């Protein structure tokens, strides 16, 4: 089996040494070279043709974000951002996902060790390496959405007792943007788990809130669900659905990781199956691993309508594939038509 060829781009000699040494201990990964800045990296990318580039954002001569945009325009390649700016979920790090980066990993800090970083990086490198080349590049950020779902928005008015639960991982930030931008103001309450680093979810929700007709925000503990609002689970916190009489709300907690993830899609979906049952719609989107598959099956068994994103429109066909193979999906749908399918279901 060929090893995954990785190029490390970072202005810190220590970071380059640590990443090269630690990642090379994994038999599937080969760090073929390093570069201290984007100009040297550009030449090495063309010459060595790595499978994946690990890219810092804060660098001399040219910042990583500018380099990323140029790279995706002229030489699309799989990129994972490894940067200290990821620790606080900065706007710059979030923009890297819009500009074509596939994952973001924070450098070690007081609350985040080198071992934590290496473990995450290995997992993400193995997953990202499976993404086809044609799925790599800058995704168009559409401000205007002309959708069948927008024309049918009135059909949602009578569905306020419904709840939509969505789970996503790698590639999910863009998939969620497309889905939430199409949701009309009368949409049922939406609860979301997107695998993201701590602090990122708040910035991510704020950006979505600026471009969506519905309200999008990072969830708070005991927050009540309401129509026209989407709640995103905070990074490093599990989110579960709860019910008190006719009122639905979310509960946040710092429980054990599930499939190396916190928040976990399975934990959300299992709680939705228990407390919403047939009043729920479950959607599992692009992402590596199997988190959410068993939970989606549980939702389906409790009478919920369940959707899995199809392989062609997924960045990583991992989580939906697991769900489909388990028989957890009522329907397999392309990303472009998921909202239309939800509205059609709600109108029946």
Residues annotated as catalytic are 169, 195, 291
| Buried/exposed 249-258: b ≥16 CB within 10 Å, e otherwise | bbebeeeeeb
Query: DSSP 3-state assignment of 20?
Result: helix
CA atoms within 13 A on the CB side of 69: 9
Tokens of 340: 């239309």
Q: Exposure of 218 by Cβ count < 10 A (0-12 exposed, 13-18 middle, 19+ buried)?
A: buried
Q: What are the DSSP calls for 134-193, one per residue?
A: GG-SPPP--S----HHHHTGGGGTT-TT-EEEEEE-TTHHHHHHHHHHH--TTPPPEEEE
DSSP H stretches of helix in 52-134:
64-74, 91-98, 114-128
CB atoms near residue 179 (< 10 Å): 26
**What gap in Å lies between CA 61 and CA 70, rounded to an integer?**
14
The residues with which 284 forms a beta bridge, in sequence order, are 167, 308
The residues with which 29 forms a beta bridge, in sequence order, are 4
Peptide bond into 324 cis (omega under 30): no
């Amino acid at each position: 089996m060929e090893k995954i060829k990785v190029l490390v781009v970072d202005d810190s000699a220590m970071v380059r040494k640590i990443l090269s040494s630690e990642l090379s201990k994994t038999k599937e990964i080969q760090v073929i070279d390093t570069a201290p800045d984007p100009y040297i990296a550009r030449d090495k990318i063309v010459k060595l043709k790595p499978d994946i580039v690990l890219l810092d954002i804060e660098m001399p001569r040219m910042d990583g974000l500018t380099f990323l945009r140029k790279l995706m325009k002229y030489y699309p390649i799989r990129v994972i951002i490894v940067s200290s700016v990821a620790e606080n979920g900065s706007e710059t790090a979030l923009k890297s996902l819009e500009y074509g980066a596939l994952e973001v990993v924070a450098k070690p800090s007081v609350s985040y060790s080198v071992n934590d970083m290496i473990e995450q990086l290995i997992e993400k490198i193995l997953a990202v390496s499976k993404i086809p080349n044609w799925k790599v590049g800058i995704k168009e950020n559409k401000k205007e959405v002309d959708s069948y779902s927008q024309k049918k928005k009135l059909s949602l008015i009578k569905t306020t007792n419904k709840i939509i639960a969505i789970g996503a991982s790698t590639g999910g930030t863009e998939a969620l943007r497309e889905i939430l931008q199409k949701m009309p103001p009368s949409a049922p309450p939406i609860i979301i788990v997107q695998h993201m680093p701590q602090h990122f979810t708040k910035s991510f929700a704020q950006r979505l809130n600026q471009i969506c007709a519905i309200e999008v925000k990072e969830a708070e503990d005991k927050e009540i669900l309401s129509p026209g609002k989407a709640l995103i689970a905070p990074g490093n916190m599990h989110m579960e659905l709860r019910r008190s009489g006719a009122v639905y709300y979310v509960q946040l907690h710092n429980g054990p990781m599930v499939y190396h993830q916190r928040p976990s899609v399975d934990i959300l979906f299992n709680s939705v199956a228990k407390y919403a049952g047939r009043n729920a719609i479950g959607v599992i989107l692009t992402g590596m691993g199997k988190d959410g598959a068993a939970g989606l099956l549980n939702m389906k068994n409790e009478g919920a309508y369940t959707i899995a994103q199809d392989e062609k429109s997924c960045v990583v066909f991992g989580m939906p594939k697991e769900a489909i193979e388990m028989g957890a999906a009522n329907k397999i749908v392309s990303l472009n038509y998921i909202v239309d399918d939800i509205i059609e279901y709600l109108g029946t």
